Amino acid sequence: MYAYAQQLPTPRRRVRRTVHQLRRALALSVLSLALIAAGVLVFVPKVALSMSHANAPVMRSYTVQAGDTLWEIAAQNSHGRDLRDVIANIKAINHLPSANIQPGLTLQIPADWSR
């Protein structure tokens, strides 16, 4: 009849856990987290590595001849690109500290530049 006359739900009985049960639950939680972390550390780098190799450009080798300059090599492989950018890319790919190159040095040049 009256709103305040409604029956209230009975409170739940609180279950008390023993120290042994709490330690077991904590150990299982820590073990679960460790297994998940190990799985992430094992599988994520493999996936990232396989994805990076899938997107890596195909390289071709060019052996520097006597009288070659990096400017000439870049000009032969620029195909409309700015020569300064091509030289910078060749230097970065081959870890060259400067534009000085010696005969016999093998340079890696992206194959897609030759199109």
What is the number of helices (H) and of strands (E) in the chain?
3, 2
pLDDT for 115? 46
| Phi, psi for 43 (deg, rounded to 5) | -90, -35
Q: Which one is the CATH code of 57-114: 3.30.470.10, 1.20.1440.230, 3.40.50.300, 3.10.350.10?
A: 3.10.350.10
Structure tokens at 47: 């996936």
CB 114 within 8 A of CB 98: no
| Phi, psi for 68 (deg, rounded to 5) | -70, 145
One digit per residue, the tens of pLDDT, for the chain of length 115 reads: 565 667 777 777 887 888 899 999 999 999 999 999 888 888 777 766 666 655 667 788 999 999 999 999 888 888 888 889 888 999 999 999 988 899 999 999 887 755 4
Task: Give the pTM.
Answer: 0.49
